[in-house]
């Protein structure tokens, strides 16, 4: 039986730690794609920042507003907090524009992580779409660090176009370390020699053994629905599929109720959900 919410690191709801932002200095900022940047942050008090793959923080630049952003760094290195942010509005544009030396405010980490312990011995199929590769990067780094504990590691990654694929040099490095990397884009020019087509088409290429597969999904909700359906069609049990959800998270601690999804709060009970529990709520359009 696969369980959820192992390896959790998060402040107690309502505690000072959960409610008061800590100042973090930007050590480095790297533009990944035209609208997406990766920030390396360090707490001003030089404390360690421990988190589990799949968790997020509430982060803000100046007075532009606080937003939930998944952590994209290495859980094995608590000295640096890494976020990969896509600029889609005032708050995220301000984060993307942050430069080394600037101080950002951070609360967290929050949320239920990927069930890393339950992946041991399995064929782990990570399926990410677009910016969704960032929230699964900590899981991928963790999987690769202990790769002998898994039977097979596969990444199915779909993007809009070649120039918008994240972590391109890392994808090659991960492949050299034993991750089976299959990448596709929705459209491309003739210079692109890789796959073109939707990410679900990669499921057939991956030669999945449904009884041994556990899958982690992260990307736009529509993409995750299509991907879960493709995996279920292949025979993967719903209870062996996990998805990272996104809703209007504000407090991060389950106090405000803005991110309600069915009987749960995404900031507290998610963002990672097991598909058999999540699927009935996704069918309710008002949610």
Partner 1 sequence: MRTIEDLIACASVFAGLTPEQLELIAGCGRNDHADAGAFLFREGEPAERFYLIRSGSVALEVHAPGRGQLRIETLHEGDVLGWSWLFSPYRWGLDARVLEPSGLVVFDGTCLRGKCDSDHELGYQLMRRFAGLLMERLQATRFQLLDVYGNAHAAR
CB-nearer residue toward partner 1: 18 or 70: 70
Query: Angle 248-253-257 (CA atoms, 0-180°, nearest 5)?
Result: 45
Quote the CA–CA distance of 100 and 242 in Å, as a whole number.
Answer: 35
CB-nearer residue toward partner 1: 147 or 250: 250
What is the nearest approach in angstroms of partner 1 to the Cβ of residue 163? 12
Provide the token pair at 193.
């020699």
Alpha carbon of 279 to those of 7, 35, 54, 201: distances in Å? 24, 31, 19, 21
Backbone angles phi, psi at 175, to 5 degrees: -65, -40
Q: Assess contact for 155 and 206: CB atoms under 8 A.
A: no
Which is it for strands 66-70 and 56-61: parallel, antiparallel or unpaired?
A: antiparallel
Quote the CA–CA distance of 108 and 60 in Å, as a whole number.
Answer: 12
CB-nearer residue toward partner 1: 8 or 35: 35
What is the nearest approach in angstroms of partner 1 to the Cβ of residue 55? 23
Q: Give burial (CB, 10 Å; 0-12/13-18/19+) of 80.
A: middle
CB-nearer residue toward partner 1: 13 or 87: 87
Quote the CA–CA distance of 150 and 112 in Å, as a whole number.
Answer: 22
What is the nearest approach in angstroms of partner 1 to the Cβ of residue 3? 30
CB-nearer residue toward partner 1: 119 or 227: 227
Residues that bind partner 1 (CB under 8 A): 35, 86, 88-89, 129-131, 158-160, 164, 184, 186-190, 192-198, 200-201, 204-205, 219-220, 222-223, 226
What is the nearest approach in angstroms of partner 1 to the Cβ of residue 89? 6
CB-nearer residue toward partner 1: 55 or 72: 72
What is the nearest approach in angstroms of partner 1 to the Cβ of residue 161? 9
Find where tokens 């677009």 sit: 130
What is the nearest approach in angstroms of partner 1 to the Cβ of residue 186? 5
């Amino acid at each position: 039986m696969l369980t959820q919410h192992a390896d959790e690191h998060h402040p107690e709801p309502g505690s000072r730690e959960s409610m008061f932002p800590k100042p973090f200095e930007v050590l480095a900022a790297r533009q990944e794609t035209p609208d997406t940047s990766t920030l390396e942050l360090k707490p001003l008090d030089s404390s360690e920042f421990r988190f589990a793959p799949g968790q997020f923080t509430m982060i803000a630049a100046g007075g532009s507003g606080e937003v939930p952003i998944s952590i994209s760094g290495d859980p094995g290195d608590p000295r640096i907090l890494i976020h990969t942010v896509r600029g889609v509005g005032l708050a995220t544009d301000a984060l993307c524009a942050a430069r080394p030396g600037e101080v950002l405010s951070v609360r967290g980490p929050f949320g239920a992580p990927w069930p890393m312990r339950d992946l041991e011995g399995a064929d782990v199929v990570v399926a990410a779409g677009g910016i969704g590769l960032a929230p699964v990067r900590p899981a991928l780094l963790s999987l690769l660090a202990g790769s002998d504990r898994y039977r097979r590691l596969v990444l199915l990654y779909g993007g809009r176009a070649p120039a918008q694929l994240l972590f391109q040099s890392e994808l090659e490095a991960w492949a050299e370390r034993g991750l089976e990397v299959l990448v596709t884009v929705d459209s491309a020019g003739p210079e692109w020699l890789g796959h073109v087509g939707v990410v679900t088409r990669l499921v057939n290429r991956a030669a999945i053994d449904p009884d041994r597969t556990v899958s982690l999904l992260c990307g736009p909700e529509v993409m995750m629905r299509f991907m879960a359906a493709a995996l279920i069609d292949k025979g993967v049990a719903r209870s062996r599929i996990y998805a990272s959800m996104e809703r209007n998270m504000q407090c991060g601690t389950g106090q405000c109720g803005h991110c309600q999804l069915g009987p749960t709060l995404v900031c507290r009970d998610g963002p990672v959900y097991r598909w058999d529990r999540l699927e009935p709520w996704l069918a309710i359009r008002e949610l």
